[in-house]
Amino acid sequence: MSALPEQSDAELLAAITAGDRSAFEALYRRHGPWLTVRLRYRCPDAALVDDAVQETFLAVWRGSARYREGGDVAGWLWRIGFRRLVDTIRGQRARDRLLRLLAGRRWGAEPSAEEELLLGVEHGDLAGALARLSPDLRAVMQATVLDGLSTREAASLLGIPVGTVKTRAMRARRQLRADLT
């Protein structure tokens, strides 16, 4: 199967599963640039972002990332890319700490506030408060806050109406405020 520009994302993914390189290239050309731009809003280090984008599309090519038909492909790629970025930042931070220990001194730029938040989200009070949210509320917070999706993108990804996303986000924020104060 040869990838044509008018093929849908789902058709491209089906062709990629069958090993079609041209479909993979078409999917990358369609989604790679915007994914890179969006991830650069999360991390100022272009090399780390490029690594995360590369890892995202490698996961798609290798089939380790599974697409559920009917969902938004862009949202699915964003979730993969965002998680790859967090993993890449964690790996970089671990290497930096090791190098600082080996050098016996602290060097390099301090991480941005966003990097600190991304890396600290799984630890401490915030992690406990997120864990106490119901699965429905946690999924909305994951999509809208941690993954940075718009309300409409989150609704498409979660398969719920936009109004439901807004209501659940409001309830989750209220519960998090109560848990964290």
Please give the single-letter amino acid code of residue 173.
R
What is the rounded CA–CA span in Å between residue 58 and residue 50? 12
pLDDT of res. 106: 47
Average pLDDT of the segment spanning 103-118: 51
Coil, helix or strand for 95? helix
**Integer distance in angstroms from the first to the last C-alpha of the chain?**
57
| Mean predicted confidence (pLDDT) in 12-36 | 91
pLDDT at 122 (0 to 100)? 47
pLDDT on residue 93: 65
Task: Give the ranges where 63-141 is alpha helix by DSSP (H).
Answer: 73-103, 113-120, 124-132, 135-141
Q: Report DSSP state, residue 133.
A: S
Instruction: Work out the average pLDDT over 102-118.
Output: 51
% of residues, the chain, pLDDT over 70: 73
Q: 36-40, 46-50, 93-97, 119-123: which range is least confident on average?
A: 119-123
Under DSSP, the state recorded for 109 is: P
For the domain made up of 121-181, give the CATH fold.
Answer: Arc Repressor Mutant, subunit A (1.10.10)
Check whether 105 has a pLDDT greater than 50: no
Counted residue by residue, the chain has a size of 181
Going from the C-alpha of 71 to that of each of 20, 66, 76, 95, the distances in angstroms are 21, 11, 8, 36
24 Cβ partners below 8 Å, 6+ apart?
A: 3, 12, 16, 57, 60, 61
pLDDT of residue 10: 84
Task: Give the mean model confidence (pLDDT) for residues 160-173.
Answer: 93
Percent of the chain whose pLDDT exceeds 90: 22
pLDDT of amino acid 110: 56
pLDDT of 120: 53
The Cα 92–Cα 86 span in angstroms is 10
CATH of domain 7-110: 1.10.1740.10
Tell me the pLDDT band of 55, cut-offs 50, 70 and 90. very high
Q: Can you give the residue ranges of every domain in the chain?
A: 7-110, 121-181
Tens digits of per-residue pLDDT, 138-164? 888 888 877 777 888 888 878 899 999
pTM above 0.85, yes or no: no
User: What are 98's two structure tokens?
Assistant: 């090791």
Q: Which two structure tokens, joined as six digits, stand for 93?
A: 């931070």
